[in-house]
Structure 1
Amino acid sequence: MDRKSKSTNSSKVQKILEEFQKDLNEGITNIGILNDEDLYKTELEKVFVGNWNYMAHDTEIPNTGDYVLRYIGDDAFIVNRTDDGEVQVILDICPHRGASICRAEKGNSSHFRCPYHGWTFKNNGDLLGAPAYKEAYNGLDRKKWGLTHAPRVEIFHGFIFACLEENGPSLEESLGGMSWYLDMIFSLQDEGMEVLGEPQRYVIKSDWKIAAENFSGDDYHLMTLHKSTYDIGVMQIPLKENMKGYHIQAGNGHGVSFSIDLESEDPLFFFYPEEIVKTFNLDNLSEKQLELARGSRVCVGNIFPNISFLMLPLSPDPKNVPPTPLFTWRVWRPIGPGEIEVWNWFFMYKNTTEEFKRSSYRSAMSTFGIAGTFELDDPVPWEAMTKNAKGTFAKKNMKLNLQMGMNNIGSSKQVTDWSFPGIAYYPRFEEGNQRHFYKRYLDDMLKEK
């Protein structure tokens, strides 16, 4: 692409974003932002490079030499545990001629060898040597030609994150108020969580922002798109009753939503059975975290930009099996304009019985697995929205409504006495979390590098 074309595309993106920013103040979006090649390229540079990206969980690489291959946007990274036991995130590119060095999605290795010319690296990224090294490379400074590391790596309750910019907020600073809510969930048990099975991967023709904003605060769609899950008993909380909860703008574009009953005489704890609640160390929680956890039924959220999670009790077989709590954690990895690869992990607390872990996994697979009752529903409108966003007339003219809960539209109001982090609204008939997500999106996209 020549310099003039780049300038034209940059001007086009700038115009789209500035128009979007103006519209968003009125609770309006343009469908064209959901499937645009130039926006997608800008997102890779400005959204995914500069933010903290989830890579793996430490229970996926428990032993020295363990590794998994993961991605940030269109870059591949090796997440591994070195001989010293340290967790590293290393770009999967040989510095000799640019070939990939990792030949499997997971494994265990003390070294990585490029298949092209045989450059060999220790699993901490150091260059060890190459075939005929004395004749070919005698005098080369090997310290300068090791593998490239992600500039920053941090671990939060076993969840491994990487950021591709050397400077900027720490992970905890970036998480803002969301860290308080995640800390509440992950601290219920001293041992924390572990991954159940392998992460599921599948591709859907949807823009990543649709999925992220959905988990950010779109509880409203349950009443229509997922109505059948209540009709057949998979979800046993009446869908309108489920809206009696809170949307919380947790700062920095993060959104979290709770269906809770703070007045309940019986402790709820996401409906974990009593024998599991007995494994919780409630001393790990602050007084306020305990109050919220005790009254929580359902929790769903999105960590900006593209990490979503959900904890709730569901039944895989309503006639024969009671609801079992599950925890799904997923990344909406953009792989092209209007296309994402879904990475979907299931977790459970380590110090629970193997029988309970199997029950939770079965509940998760049958509802939020690749062929789950919920999972099959969502791509239908998401893919339609993405396809429609490509339309020539629609891209120029079609505005979308994101006004629920603002300007006295609907029943939701800001909770003035909210005693937890963030800005909360009750009930969940509102779209403030989505608007909060897009405001952060615009901040990143319009920021001068």
Structure 2
Amino acid sequence: MGLLPENRRSDLVLDPYSLVNDDASLISRRCWSDASVYEAEKQRIFGRSWLFLGHESQIRKPGDFVQAYMCETPVILARSEDGQVHASINSCTHRGLPVCRASHGNTRRFVCPYHNWSYSVSGDLVAIPQEKQVAQCPDKSALGLKRVPRLESWRGLIFGSFNDSIEPLEDYLGDMRFYLDAFLLRFPAGIEFVGSPQRWVIDANWKLPVENQLGDVNHGPFLHAAIIPAEANQEIVDYGYSVVTQPGHGATFRLLPEDAPVESVGWGFESIPGQTGGAELQEYLREVHAQASDRVGPIRARMKGLTYGIYPNLSFLWSNAAFKVSHPRGPGKVEYWSWSVVPADAPAHLKKILRANHTSFFGPGGILEQEDSESWMQQLKGANIGFADDRPFYYGLGLGEEKPHADLPGLVSSTANEFYARAFFQRWRDDLAAEVRA
């Protein structure tokens, strides 16, 4: 089935199957640039999926909070006095102002600056100053901040959903847990998020950063030729795998030989801090790897990760230890958030060294991230070119070459196969179409 050529208008009737063909080898430029497509995404994808909000290490104590977003909806993630985690929409029920203006902190109350309506950390309305002057007092129990209806945590990663009937988070993640645990479980105390996320706004569609981190490692030797050495790319060619556990979720990694030296396979060694951070840090990294086989099994101990993705917009960059969220801000703008993660039980002075791994190449000041961001902006321009809607983007590299693997869950292929992106767009298309049919 071919894609329908259309003039670029936001009032066109949305037909997802005219945007993405059957095998997702052809993707309409409208997917990236059309306002009606974006409005459908907000309701049919972000309104119905599990969305990443934060990590439990960010809200350890009662009263701790961080701000988050679910698509364009601002959310407060907080821990109440009883130790429970809550997620509330950051909008006063009186006149709609944000009741929390700090990105993170610790508090007993969230207070609207307009009329001083006061809310507990869990989102309950606890005080209305003006009610002392009126005879009829409102029912405060019905006027709390709107709650995110579903909230679940796995391995310390906290997700929320506006879809009250969504499947449990563990089922949603499915076999992707196998690949996430290859990283998360190799540290005895797990991981922790360090500091606030780096945040920057890019004139790009939210899906391209997701696609980049879902499995697109083959742009590296070309776009990043000045930084990535030829031998690093050869390792990906020789040992690289791209896996789709279910459409929209994916992991790309190298599976090194059993006799690979620890400096070649162990987490942290390929980073700048791992190479320059000194003998004590390298000894710590050797100790972590010495336990890896017992903690995650012999297959996953040989994994040297690259990029991971959780549908719709969470990414994980293994080598630079960064979790990233691609927050939409319209069809042509994305606010990108990136958190540094470190082993939770590493000595404090080594955590400080390891944190430099996050910003050595990535983040708004990192050279690789700047090159990626420039490409994402240029792609949006390409998606907006007039009289080119009859020439969709081609996603057919490696079509049909993915297959099962004896030791790895999901469908597995070489890293040059664009199956990870085709699977994402098939799920994206079907999610949009499901709401249309309902």
CA shift, 1:371, in A, is 1.3
2:13 aligned counterpart, secondary structure = helix
2:406 matched to which residue of 1?
Answer: 418
CA shift, 1:357, in A, is 2.0
- Which ranges of structure 2 fall in alignment gaps of 5 or more residues? 1-8, 270-281
Distance in 2 between residues matched to 1:331 and 1:247, nearest whole Å? 21
Cα deviations by residue, 1:8-50 (Å, 9 ceiling, x for unpaired):
9675222xx211332x526121222111111111111111111
Residue identity (%): 28
8 Å contact kept, 1:90–1:148: yes
Q: 1:46 to 1:72 in 2, by over 3 A?
A: same
Confirm whether residue 251 of structure 1 aligns to residue 252 of structure 2.
no
8 Å contact kept, 1:113–1:119: yes
The code of the aligned residue for 1:385 comes to Q
CA shift, 1:97, in A, is 2.3
Cα deviations by residue, 1:135-154 (Å, 9 ceiling, x for unpaired):
33644222111111100111
Aligned residues: 412
Comparing 183-192 with 434-443, greater Cα deviation is found at: 183-192
The code of the aligned residue for 1:336 comes to G
2:86 matched to which residue of 1?
Answer: 88
Q: 1:18 to 1:137 in 2, by over 3 A?
A: farther
The code of the aligned residue for 1:230 comes to I
8 Å contact kept, 1:270–1:293: no
- Which ranges of structure 1 fall in alignment gaps of 5 or more residues? 1-7, 313-325, 408-412
Cα deviations by residue, 1:172-217 (Å, 9 ceiling, x for unpaired):
1111211221123111122111122321000111111111111112
Comparing 260-269 with 416-425, greater Cα deviation is found at: 260-269
1:329 aligned counterpart, secondary structure = strand
Confirm whether residue 275 of structure 1 aligns to residue 284 of structure 2.
yes
Confirm whether residue 381 of structure 1 aligns to residue 378 of structure 2.
no
Distance in 2 between residues matched to 1:135 and 1:283, nearest whole Å? 68
Distance in 2 between residues matched to 1:350 and 1:416, nearest whole Å? 34
1:20 matched to which residue of 2?
Answer: 19
1:398 to 388, 391, 403: 391
1:405 aligned counterpart, secondary structure = coil
2:422 to 431, 435, 439: 435
Q: 1:25 to 1:416 in 2, by over 3 A?
A: closer
Distance in 2 between residues matched to 1:149 and 1:87, nearest whole Å? 11
Distance in 2 between residues matched to 1:137 and 1:151, nearest whole Å? 33
Cα deviations by residue, 1:42-78 (Å, 9 ceiling, x for unpaired):
1111111111111111222222111111111111011
CA shift, 1:277, in A, is 4.3
8 Å contact kept, 2:57–2:193: yes
Distance in 2 between residues matched to 1:210 and 1:398, nearest whole Å? 18
Q: 1:279 to 1:428 in 2, by over 3 A?
A: closer
Cα deviations by residue, 1:66-101 (Å, 9 ceiling, x for unpaired):
111111111101111111121111111111222221
CA shift, 1:282, in A, is 4.5
8 Å contact kept, 1:176–1:252: no
Distance in 1 between residues matched to 2:76 and 2:224, nearest whole Å? 37
Q: 1:258-407 residue pairs with structure 2 within 5 A?
A: 258-267=253-262, 268-270=265-267, 272=269, 273-279=282-288, 282=292, 285=295, 289-312=296-319, 326-394=320-388, 396-406=389-399
CA shift, 1:374, in A, is 1.1
Confirm whether residue 108 of structure 1 aligns to residue 99 of structure 2.
no
CA shift, 1:360, in A, is 2.1
Q: 1:114 to 1:197 in 2, by over 3 A?
A: closer
Distance in 2 between residues matched to 1:364 and 1:77, nearest whole Å? 25
Distance in 1 between residues matched to 2:403 and 2:261, nearest whole Å? 24
Distance in 2 between residues matched to 1:438 and 1:262, nearest whole Å? 33
8 Å contact kept, 2:206–2:331: no
| RMSD value, Cα | 2.1
2:371 aligned counterpart, secondary structure = coil
1:316 matched to which residue of 2?
Answer: none
Distance in 2 between residues matched to 1:259 and 1:196, nearest whole Å? 26
Q: 1:415 to 1:74 in 2, by over 3 A?
A: closer
CA shift, 1:109, in A, is 1.0
8 Å contact kept, 2:327–2:335: yes
Give the TM-score of the pair, scaled to structure 1: 0.86
Comparing 414-423 with 431-440, greater Cα deviation is found at: 414-423
CA shift, 1:336, in A, is 1.2
Q: 1:296 to 1:147 in 2, by over 3 A?
A: same
CA shift, 1:254, in A, is 0.5
The code of the aligned residue for 1:12 comes to V
8 Å contact kept, 2:244–2:412: yes
Give the TM-score of the pair, scaled to structure 2: 0.88
Q: 1:124 to 1:271 in 2, by over 3 A?
A: closer
Distance in 2 between residues matched to 1:47 and 1:264, nearest whole Å? 44
1:374 aligned counterpart, secondary structure = helix
1:43 to 34, 41, 44: 41
Cα deviations by residue, 1:205-240 (Å, 9 ceiling, x for unpaired):
111111111111211111201111124xxxx84313
Distance in 2 between residues matched to 1:47 and 1:217, nearest whole Å? 21
8 Å contact kept, 1:246–1:424: yes
1:321 matched to which residue of 2?
Answer: none
The code of the aligned residue for 1:420 comes to L
